[in-house]
Amino acid sequence: MASRPRTLGAAIAPVVIGAAMAYDAGAFHPVSALCALAAALLVQIGTNFANDYLDFVKGTDTDKRTGPTRVTQAGLVTPKTMRRATTLVFALIALPAAYAIYRGGWPFLAIAVASVACGVWYTAGPYPLGYIGLSDAAVLIFFGPVAVGGTYYLQALELPAQVIIAGIAPGLLAVALLTVNNLRDIEEDRAAGKKTLAVRFGAEFAKMEYLFCIVVSCMAVPLYFYGYTGSRWFALVALLGLWWGAPAARILIDPAAPEAFHHALARTGMALLFYSGAFALAYIL
């Protein structure tokens, strides 16, 4: 429960896209792809664990919480155990990171250190990313161009500009997931002094941010690749992306109840996985 399975698509999607692009380039390397997937999942799970623990310690998560259960706040896991679990998960990143450094060089050490640092800094420290409105930018960068580009480079040992552009879509869809959470928790975050973008600029801004992420990721990026490659498969990806993302967007614009946010979160997470699979298939075809 603490790993938040519904959001783990944010770690899987960019690896799928990067691996597909490497396959198309004739550079697919299974061990490297699995290494990238393991690292991405561990970073996200570790970040979720740290957030669960630290939000409880800071007093942000209380018994008045309306979102999904946080295991430390609910008393399902003791703070000491959650702290140990967080440390263990982040420590395990050293295994795929060691292989990545061996194959891809020292830049992967920087990526590993920065990923773990941001995972902790997301909630910890005097100026945590999630509390000052910088979490959206961090999610976009690390679950977008960094994850897709890192996955591709680890296999092909080069990095074309098109790979970075492809990484924008999963990064924005991951931001859309975050936006659903921030919009749902806007009043609780405001009371706790957590200045997310939704708190800073209001609910209407958060709704527009969500729609922007859906439109650019599900339509603009595949249409760009349609123009770049001439493949009609990407036009189909754009149409399917609009069909898939529209219901979640409609629910978010006019939520009838807190459950609407849970549905939007699940739908957006599924859209992220769906998009990554469709984009990967379109690229290969």
pLDDT tens-digit map of 270-283: 888 888 999 999 98
What distance lies between CA 204 and its chain's CA centroid? 22
Q: What is the pLDDT of residue 235?
A: 84
Report, as an integer, the average pLDDT of 250-271. Answer: 72
Question: Any idea which residue has 């792809």 for tokens?
Answer: 33
Helices (H), 125-257: 129-132, 135-142, 145-156, 161-184, 186-192, 197-201, 203-215, 221-229, 232-253
Contact between 62 and 187 (Cβ < 8 Å): no
Specify the DSSP class assigned to residue 133: T
Q: Using pLDDT thresholds of 50, 70 and 90, give the confidence band for residue 193.
A: confident
Q: Which residue has the higher pLDDT, 197 or 230?
A: 197
Report, as an integer, the average pLDDT of 65-72. Answer: 75
What Å distances lie between residue 178 and 8, 14, 98, 207, 237, CA to CA?
Answer: 12, 16, 30, 12, 23
pLDDT of 233 above 70: yes
**SS3 state at 75:** coil
pLDDT of 83 above 60: yes
Candidate from 75-89, 179-193, 199-213 with smallest mean pLDDT: 179-193
Residues sharing a CB contact under 8 Å with residue 167, sequence separation 6 or more, in sequence order = 14, 17, 18, 144, 145, 146, 147, 148, 149
Report, as an integer, the average pLDDT of 8-35. Answer: 95
